[in-house]
Structures are given as structure tokens and as C-alpha cells.
């Protein structure tokens, strides 16, 4: 990754922050985007103090103009783009029958449209470098997770978009990676939206037993360098689930329901 220019959205915490640190340590020039200017500033100070080249741009990926500015600022600073990591995302936890539709729209705006906006404006530059478009997705993009209608819908939409983009660019040299980290220790569940759009606050899962964001970043780096099509992490909740969903979908539905119903304060039993 030496001297590669990499844009990472959702870079202020979790997988995005871990990727920023990991990719910078490999010699990449990092362009970081997130909504929190304060958090970005602290990350910029940390990475700059370690001798890394970094640009930060406060960005709300649900706004196309913000995404356009992010791309323009990156090219202005570094002259090119080699990798776009669409990592910004939000989750939810509520039954669809109880869900305010504004919550579903918000998830689509961030998770799906954020990916579309950033990719659209970065694509001309990525085609010049025969670079990589990365979508940080979820197992929820392969199977419908109960209590996460908006989240699964947004990730399925992301998959359809990126798979089609890959096919359209079979002869251009563009690399498209769909990455499903599985359950990863991060603040995504704490910030997950409930039925009325308020933050969940406390995670319903044992974060200390999950794969760390740092480990996910290492796997992502390897997948980008190898130009892999798909990255699915964890065995039981990742690879096995995706495999079974193709051959025994009814079983996966029952297992998914049972698994999610075991969460504390689950919206269904």
C-alpha cells in the first residue's frame, strides 16, 4: 500500500478507524471522512504525529454534495485515488410493524446512498488508477436478519449495486470488493436506531467475544491487495451462514430467528 491514496468513510471509530491506522502503517496516504469534525481532528493529530500523510474531511455521506467535496479535496491534496472504502454505516433494532419508516429511509440514505454517492464521484479517478471500490457490508447483506429490516435492505441494495458495478467494469481493470466482517466489536450497535429513531444506547451483544476491528482491518488490507471479490469473516456466523442460506434457506431463517431472540430485550421471542 506504499503511497496508495485510500479514502475511508466512517473513519472516526470502529472498523473505519482501525483501517485508517492499519493502512497508514503500510505507507498509504489516508483521506478520512466522518460526521464528527472533533474526532477526525484527533485522529489527524495522532497519525500526523506518527509521520503519516493524512487528510480529514467532515462528511455526511447521506448528502451527495458532502461526498463530492470529499472526493475533490482528496484529489486536490494527493492527485489521485487508488482505493475507496465505503465503510460509513448505521444499524437498527426493531420489528418492522413497530418501525417508523423514517428510520428505514435514514439507513438507506447512509448505508446505500452513501456508497452510491461516494462511488459515483470517485469512479473516474479509480478508473484511471485501476483502483478498488470496497463496500463494508454485513452478513445482513446475504440473509435477512430479523429485527433489522432496514439494515438488511440497505446491505442487500449495496450488494446489488456493487455486483453490477463489477460486471460493468470487467474490462476496465476496476476492482470491486464486498466485505462482510460478521459481528465485530464496535460502537455500531450502541448507535443503532430503535423503532422511533432514537439510539439504542447499550449493545445487546457480548462485544468482548467478537472479532476486533483491528483484526478486520488486517483482513481487509489483505483482501484489497489480493483484489478479492468477496470477504466473509468468522466461520459459524459468517461463512457457514452464507453457505447454508444457498442450500437450506428455511433452516437459516429458523436459526437466525432463534439467535436474535436470545438477545437481551429482544423485540421478538
pLDDT tens, 28-43?
999 999 999 999 999 9
- Report the 10 Å Cβ neighbour count for 219: 17
Catalytic residues: 151
pLDDT tier, 18 (very low <50, low <70, confident <90, very high otherwise): very high
In a domain, 242, yes or no: no
In a domain, 133, yes or no: yes
Mean pLDDT of the chain: 87
In a domain, 81, yes or no: yes
What's the confidence (pLDDT) of residue 208? 60
| Integer Cα distance of 83 and 63 in angstroms | 21
- How many independent structural domains does the chain possess? 1
| Integer Cα distance of 189 and 212 in angstroms | 14
Q: Are 16 and 10 in contact (CB under 8 A)?
A: yes
In a domain, 77, yes or no: yes
- Could you read off the pLDDT of 110-166 as tens digits, one per residue? 999 999 999 999 999 999 999 999 999 988 878 888 888 999 999 999 999 999 999
Check which CATH number belongs to the domain holding 60 and give it.
3.40.50.720
pLDDT tier, 9 (very low <50, low <70, confident <90, very high otherwise): very high
Q: Are 134 and 83 in contact (CB under 8 A)?
A: yes
In a domain, 257, yes or no: no
Query: Residue 189: is its pLDDT beyond 50?
Result: no
In a domain, 226, yes or no: yes
- Enclosing domain of residue 168: 5-90+104-185+212-235
In a domain, 121, yes or no: yes
In a domain, 148, yes or no: yes
Amino acid at each position: 500500500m506504499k503511497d496508495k491514496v485510500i479514502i475511508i468513510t466512517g473513519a472516526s471509530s470502529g472498523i473505519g478507524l482501525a483501517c485508517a491506522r492499519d493502512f497508514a502503517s503500510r505507507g498509504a496516504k489516508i483521506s478520512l471522512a466522518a460526521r464528527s469534525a472533533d474526532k477526525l481532528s484527533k485522529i489527524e493529530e495522532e497519525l500526523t504525529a506518527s509521520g503519516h500523510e493524512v487528510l480529514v474531511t467532515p462528511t455526511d455521506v447521506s448528502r451527495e454534495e458532502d461526498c463530492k467535496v470529499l472526493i475533490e479535496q482528496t484529489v486536490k491534496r494527493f492527485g489521485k485515488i487508488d482505493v475507496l472504502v465505503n465503510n460509513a454505516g448505521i444499524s437498527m433494532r426493531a420489528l418492522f410493524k413497530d418501525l417508523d419508516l423514517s428510520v428505514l429511509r435514514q439507513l438507506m440514505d447512509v448505508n446505500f446512498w452513501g456508497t452510491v454517492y461516494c462511488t459515483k464521484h470517485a469512479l473516474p479517478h479509480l478508473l484511471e488508477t485501476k483502483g478498488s471500490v470496497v463496500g463494508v457490508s454485513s452478513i445482513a447483506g446475504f440473509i435477512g436478519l430479523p429485527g433489522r429490516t432496514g439494515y438488511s435492505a440497505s446491505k442487500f441494495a449495496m450488494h446489488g449495486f456493487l455486483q453490477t458495478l463489477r460486471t460493468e467494469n470487467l474490462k476496465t481493470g476496476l476492482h470491486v470488493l464486498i466485505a462482510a466482517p460478521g459481528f465485530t466489536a464496535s460502537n455500531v450497535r450502541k448507535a443503532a436506531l430503535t423503532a422511533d429513531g432514537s439510539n439504542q444506547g447499550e449493545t445487546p451483544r457480548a462485544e468482548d467475544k467478537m472479532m476486533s476491528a483491528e483484526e478486520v482491518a488486517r483482513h481487509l488490507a489483505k483482501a484489497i491487495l489480493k483484489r478479492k471479490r468477496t470477504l466473509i469473516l468468522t466461520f459459524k456466523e459468517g461463512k457457514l451462514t452464507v453457505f447454508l442460506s444457498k442450500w437450506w434457506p428455511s433452516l437459516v431463517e429458523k436459526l437466525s430467528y432463534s439467535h436474535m431472540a436470545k438477545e437481551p430485550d429482544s423485540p421478538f421471542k
